[in-house]
């Protein structure tokens, strides 16, 4: 089913969830790796280019996902979930969206600080803001980009561990709601 149901996430929600999971993990590893390369590395220029293109793609998916989440009802939480778990899960979802948004925004701002736009693969160029940014702020924004990405990575690991805990220890449907589309009771 396209839309979320009472018991499970629809295929679009699932596709957005897993593609962003893959993209964000890739971007994180790529970001750490590309900034460690030396000047003569063959990937010195290409990796940042891919990083920016995939970063933009992730941002576009986030916009679609935010709209889609607002248009859809959330599947009912399994009855085994305690109230604090539900509240925490909701807060985490908002925090994830906010963090991804801010990481993308900060990346965009410091890459375009001198007025040069960002290429989206070989398709089109996202223009830079009309205002250039002062050096102090550029460095601050760049540091924030990295710190927020590390924070997001930690939260993603906790998120995955929590999902596995629900699946393996509690044996509830928390994880399977996000996997496949079989109707569940």
Partner 1 sequence: MKSILQKTLLSLSLTTLLFTSSYAIADDYLIDKEGTHASIQFKISHLGYSWLLGRFNDFDGRFSYDEKNPDKAKIEVNINTKSVDSNHAERDKHLRGSDFLDVKQFPDAKFVSTHYKENTDGTATLTGNFTLHGITKEIVINVTKVGAGNDPWGGYRRGFEGKTRIALKDYGITKDLGPASTELELLLNIEGIKQ
CA distance 104 to 101: 5
Query: Segment near partner 1 (CB under 8 A), from 53-61, 71-79, 105-113, 173-181?
Result: 105-113
Of these, 13, 110, 149, 166, which contacts partner 1 (CB under 8 A)? Answer: 110
Of these, 18, 33, 139, 150, which contacts partner 1 (CB under 8 A)? Answer: 139
CA distance 126 to 26: 21
Q: Contact at 8 Å (CB) between 65 and 20?
A: yes
Q: How many CB atoms lie within 10 A of CB 48?
A: 17
Of these, 38, 83, 130, 131, which contacts partner 1 (CB under 8 A)? Answer: 38
Query: Segment near partner 1 (CB under 8 A), from 81-89, 107-115, 162-170, 177-185?
Result: 107-115
CA distance 159 to 144: 22
**Helix axis angle, 83-111 relative to 46-71, nearest 10°?**
140
Q: Of 50-89, which residues contact partner 1 (CB under 8 A)?
A: none
Residues that bind partner 1 (CB under 8 A): 38-40, 48, 110-114, 116, 135-136, 138-139, 142
């Amino acid at each position: 089913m396209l839309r979320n149901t009472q018991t499970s996430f629809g295929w679009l929600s699932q596709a957005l969830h897993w593609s962003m999971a893959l993209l964000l993990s890739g971007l994180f590893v790529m970001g750490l790796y590309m900034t460690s390369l030396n000047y003569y590395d063959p990937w010195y220029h290409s990796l940042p280019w891919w990083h920016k293109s995939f970063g933009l793609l992730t941002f576009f998916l986030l916009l679609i996902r935010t709209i889609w989440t607002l248009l859809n009802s959330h599947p009912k939480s399994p009855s085994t979930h305690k109230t604090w778990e539900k509240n925490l899960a909701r807060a985490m979802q908002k925090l994830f969206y906010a963090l991804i948004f801010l990481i993308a925004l900060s990346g965009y701002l410091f890459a375009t600080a001198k007025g040069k736009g960002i290429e989206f693969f070989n398709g089109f160029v996202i223009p830079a803001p009309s205002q250039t940014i002062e050096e102090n702020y550029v460095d601050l924004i760049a540091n924030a980009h990295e710190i927020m990405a590390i924070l997001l990575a930690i939260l993603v690991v906790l998120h995955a561990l929590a999902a596995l805990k629900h699946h393996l220890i509690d044996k509830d449907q928390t994880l399977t709601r996000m996997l496949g589309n079989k109707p569940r009771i």
